[in-house]
Amino acid sequence: MRDKSAKLAKRRESLVAQATLQRDLLTESIKPWLMPLTLADQGLSILNFVRKHPVLILGGVLLSVSRSNPLGKYLRQGLVTWMAFRNLL
């Protein structure tokens, strides 16, 4: 029984060392992808935010239009009215 326990302990030690080596190799192979994947993740976060809050984007566009076009004043007032109505519901 001790012989079997010793074999299992040695096997476990070997497997732990192998897992550590594989983990280190994986970390090294992923390093070049870290920055592009981070940027992609941030891009997806921005896309999800825009998808959930389209009114904010519309408001920004209307504000930029309102400074260069007299029609923008009416669009901005309409946006404010629509947002107020939406908040009442």
Give me the average pLDDT of each 10-residue run along the chain (89 residues): 88 96 95 92 90 78 67 74 80
| Residue 32: predicted pLDDT | 92
Largest Cα separation within the chain, whole Å, is 91
What are the pLDDT digits (tens) for 3-20? 889 999 999 999 999 999
DSSP string, 60-71: HHHHHHHHH-TH
What pLDDT score was predicted for residue 7?
A: 92
Q: State the pLDDT at residue 65.
A: 66
Amino acid present at 58: L
